[in-house]
Structure 1
């Protein structure tokens, strides 16, 4: 063996020893951002999912709430994070498929700057009334049409799905509704209970405790099927307003340019969790429906949602901001 070959062999051994093998993902804690205050459905799902992923990955998954700007503060933080899978978003409908349609200026493009990894859960909106409003059912609410006093309804942010639901309700019924935006669902629910606002659309989880306590009253489910946890509450279809069908959805996103192997790893692990009977039961106990979609299927779902909300924006006249 020539001395040149021997030297090359030695160099190769030294190089391999100097370059450590790439660690399997994840080998350190992962941050899961939520764009809303604690207590809403997005936060609830994030914490359930973080616990399951922590158990599976043997790494801590930390939920961090960055509320504000209709979820865009958290989404922008993920967009600007390193595309390594250690900063993820538990995204909710507005910051992914609505805000682009209603805000003239955004710091990110949800289609190009976020990687859709996995759809986790969905839930129809529920319209609830507070103690200040003399309406605890659909008939009583419609009787308020023509009143001079405005009926205040809240939402977690301008241009979001719950804002759209209120504007669709206003268009369909002629009720004198006035929009009051909040920084999160839990804050709006507090004011609904306290009588600062009259109506609020939300998924079942953040409303259920106060409904059961008799502090607020569910008027309708904005879908075509009754909720398991609210079996006596009629649907929009039953009440003759089928256009008032709006379902929230929640999914996991990473930064744009997230490597495919990492996106596939996260997505596959989330799909595995969604197949777990115990996780399904946890979601359903909170009024949420497991809705597993991964990768390209999830991306196509988002495109369909954007087309739907574009039509609603045109019909309701919600202006860009």
Structure 2
């Protein structure tokens, strides 16, 4: 496409702006904002790019309780971040399979920063009082974060595989197809072990022949391999950097789960969850989970 040509995305026309045009515009305005930014009677370039009108039309609280909007929007933000994380984790996985460590590490650093943002999404929710939540909780019906198919795909991409969890989504065909595909795809941890093996750190053949849709059993030989990396970080420099990047993800994800538990504990106490769980009891149990189990164990044993 030439610089002067336009394009059409989602039924809306736009025209790319070159670096030269941006520089000329800044000179023309003396560095001040351009007030004639191509707005039409129906839209602006900013609205068109982010589809802001669509995004801001997606909030439909069911009660008059003001706190419900915080609950609603924070939940939607989390879903968007799950989508971003799922995309980035799969990109890092593919780069590792291609033996492109440096760009994979860059993606993992960005993923870790995104996880930090995800953790903070519990902060507004932690301010909702018991009485405020009570004013709209019944309207949730059976809706539960446990049913999030984007979250489930992210868990699978990181290696926490569970065919049983995938089956929970079978009732919605288009959702189940996405979740099942994520279940059957190699995980980030599968790619990490593949890279580790390619760098001369010997691993059992079973690591590369098992069904990626099944949970991987804890393998002492894999733990020993990671321990060798930690004992000789200079010799195994690439695998060591990867191990630390994965550990950073583990840490931030554990913070997400723990903060989730604390928030729910504060807002609903010992009441049952909407999705059939016992609430904080279920969250307390899953908060103990860690991805990349042999790596986590190797950090403790050295």
TM-score by length of 2: 0.25
RCO higher in structure (CA 8 A, sep ≥6): 1
Which has the larger share of strand?
Answer: 1
Which has the larger share of helix?
Answer: 2
